[in-house]
């Protein structure tokens, strides 16, 4: 069963609707007890880093989530701010991240942008993929982005896909059972649907 972590942030219903259309067992998870029933987890997120971390802690799921991911090795997919929460820290706030993938979340440097480029990075962008099962069967991937910060992993090999917006940045990461995308698959039409299907079946 796919468990979509519902801590008050993120497009949880959009993920749920996609999996229901695919006839894949899915459930919104709102408690530590419900986390135990999931075989795979999705951690969505929108907004500011510290607010997302605060809401996750207030949900009462934080400790159980860490155990399920780090000890039980349950596959997890972070999306947008859900990806950034997996870092050690973020320049956007003062709170400590989950630390599942060592790295730092940084703000794009607007001084290096062309006049046509501005923040937030919003809209469709291409994704250059290294060999990664999450993207299996996806040709010429185009995904929808909405962010002003990006994940800079300490270990460059944890970046399995890159995009360009004034500078090249990691648009997908992977470390063991932890995967994440800066883009929104739930807003990315058939490319996103295939990626979510791959997460459920092939990773």
What are the catalytic residues?
Answer: 80, 184, 186
**Residue 116 tokens, joined:** 């046509």
How far apart (Å, rounded) are the C-alpha atoms in residues 22 and 18?
6
CA atoms within 13 A of residue 181's CA, in its CB half-sphere:
28
Contact in structure between 73 and 81 (CB atoms under 8 Å): no
> Under a CB-based contact definition with an 8 Å cutoff, are residues 92 and 190 in contact?
no
How far apart are alpha carbons 44 and 35 in whole angstroms? 15
């Amino acid at each position: 069963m796919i468990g979509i972590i519902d801590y008050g942030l993120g497009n949880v219903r959009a993920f749920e609707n996609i999996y229901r259309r695919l006839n894949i067992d899915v459930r919104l998870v709102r408690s530590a007890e419900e986390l135990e029933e999931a075989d795979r987890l999705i951690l969505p997120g929108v907004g500011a880093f510290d607010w997302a971390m605060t809401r996750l802690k207030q949900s009462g799921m934080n400790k159980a989530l860490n155990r399920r991911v780090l000890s039980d090795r349950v596959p997890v997919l972070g999306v947008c701010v859900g990806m950034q929460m997996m870092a050690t820290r973020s320049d956007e706030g003062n709170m400590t991240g989950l630390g599942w993938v060592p790295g730092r979340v940084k703000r794009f440097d607007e001084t290096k942008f062309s006049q046509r480029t501005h923040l937030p990075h919003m809209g469709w962008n291409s994704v250059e993929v290294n060999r990664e099962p999450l993207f299996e069967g996806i040709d010429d991937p185009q995904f929808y982005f909405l962010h002003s910060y990006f994940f800079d992993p300490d270990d460059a090999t944890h970046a399995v896909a890159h995009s360009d917006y004034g500078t090249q940045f990691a648009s997908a990461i992977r470390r063991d059972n932890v995967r994440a995308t800066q883009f929104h698959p739930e807003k990315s039409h058939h490319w996103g649907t295939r990626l979510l299907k791959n997460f459920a079946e092939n990773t």
